[in-house]
Amino acid sequence: MNTNSVSVSDPRCEKCPFRNQKRVPSSGDIRKAKYILVGEAPGRNEVVKMEPFVGETGTLLQAFFDRVDLDLHGEDFYLMNALSCQVRRKPSIPQAVACCRQRVINEILEADPRQTTLVVMGKVARDTLFPKETGGILGSRGWRKLGKFNVYVMAHPSYYLYNPDEAPMLAKDVSRIKRGRLPQIGPFELTTDVPLGPSEFITVKLPPYAYDRDSTYRATILDTHEKLKWFIRELNEVPLSSRDLISFDLETDQVDF
Ligand code: SF4
């Protein structure tokens, strides 16, 4: 049951560049849903079937949710897009996001934050619900709060259609969503404005006795405030019961205190 689909005459749509495109309503019963998935905008298949997440992306996502026994089109899910209408011109997306934001918020506010996890998929959805956040979507990945809702931000599943080697990251996202947000050892906060050095990423190969099946890890030098914020968000996700060791090295040789 869709309780808050947008009507053709909605005044919020008047300035939207996609107002003449097909509108795809959200699907599911938001008052009963345990998970609200917010995608980007309907694709070709969604427009034909008038339902979100029924194209290639939805199929990929279901394959990963199968691993944790969740049915994307079952009663636990409410599926919606940040933009209800099909995107025609990518440069017009920010304008459409501004027009559609209140519709997204109104829909979400019908859910019960005590029983519902909000899953924000992709940059368009993130820009809709966290308009002050900048940078790539991978830097936003992880848990946070929006009002009383627990929110998990992740890359849009279509990213993995083009980057299949990164699929372990999608598997991790899906298992985190199923597990739910755990108690934290934080909160840790970033309290410095000290200028940081140039960006650099390195990839390291860990020895085979490392604790994960996948022994290749990307190490990030946290030399910008955006990266530090991402790191702190990740750190805040570590469960109290975890026996993992977190180790990091703070270089201060170029910092003038
Ligand atoms: S994308 Fe949103 S704001 Fe734009 S026309 Fe569709 S429903 Fe209206």
Is residue 79 within 8 A of residue 29, CB to CB? The reply is no
Amino acid letter at 81? N
Residues 189, 160, single domain; the answer is: no
Q: Which of 2, 9, 83, 104 to mutate to test the pocket of ligand 1 (most atoms within 8 A of CB)?
A: 83
Residues 28, 155, single domain; the answer is: yes
Q: Could you give the CA distance from residue 154 to residue 171 in angstroms, rounded to a whole number?
A: 11
Residue whose CA lies nearest to ligand 1 atom number 2: 100
Residues 164, 191, single domain; the answer is: no
Q: Report the candidate in 93, 238, 90 with the shortest Cα–Cα distance to residue 248.
A: 238
4: in domain? no
115: in domain? yes
6: in domain? no
pLDDT (0 to 100) of residue 186: 55
pLDDT (0 to 100) of residue 233: 73
Which of these three, 179, 211, 233, is where a domain ends?
179
Q: Is the CB of 80 under 6 A from ligand 1?
A: no
Residues 129, 52, single domain; the answer is: yes
List 27's β-bridge partners, or say none. Answer: 79
Q: Which of 23, 50, 89 to mutate to test the pocket of ligand 1 (most atoms within 8 A of CB)?
A: 23
pLDDT (0 to 100) of residue 12: 86
Residues 206, 175, single domain; the answer is: no
Q: Is the CB of 87 under 6 A from ligand 1?
A: no
The single-letter DSSP state of residue 100 is H
- What is the token pair recorded at 218? 């990307």
pLDDT (0 to 100) of residue 156: 96
The single-letter DSSP state of residue 92 is G
Amino acid letter at 143? W
Residues 98, 198, single domain; the answer is: no
Q: Is the CB of 26 under 6 A from ligand 1?
A: no
Mapped onto helix, strand or coil, the DSSP state of residue 22 is coil
Which of these three, 129, 145, 179, is where a domain ends?
179
Q: Is the CB of 99 under 6 A from ligand 1?
A: yes
State how many domains the chain has. 2
Centroid of ligand 1 to alpha carbon of 12 (angstroms): 7
Residues 52, 167, single domain; the answer is: yes
By residue range, what is the domain housing residue 152?
11-179
Is residue 55 within 8 A of residue 46, CB to CB? The reply is yes
pLDDT (0 to 100) of residue 187: 57
Residues 22, 130, single domain; the answer is: yes
CATH number at 78 reads 3.40.470.10
Q: Could you give the CA distance from residue 144 to residue 152 in angstroms, rounded to a whole number?
A: 6
Q: Could you give the CA distance from residue 90 to residue 113 in angstroms, rounded to a whole number?
A: 32
State the Cα angle at 225 between 179 and 145, rounded to 5°: 35
Q: Report the candidate in 34, 40, 77, 70 with the shortest Cα–Cα distance to residue 156.
A: 40
| Tens-level pLDDT at each residue, the chain (257 residues) | 444 445 556 788 999 999 999 999 999 999 999 999 999 999 999 999 999 999 999 999 999 999 999 999 999 999 999 999 999 999 999 999 999 999 999 999 999 999 999 999 999 999 999 999 988 898 889 888 899 999 999 999 999 999 999 999 999 999 999 988 865 555 555 555 544 444 444 444 444 444 444 444 555 567 676 777 777 777 666 655 455 556 666 665 554 43
pLDDT (0 to 100) of residue 232: 73
**Is the bond preceding 187 in cis, omega lying within 30 degrees of 0?**
yes
The single-letter DSSP state of residue 181 is P
Question: Which positions ≥6 away from 201 have C-beta within 8 Å?
Answer: 218, 219, 220, 221
Distance of CA 38 to the CA centre of its chain: 8
Residues 128, 30, single domain; the answer is: yes
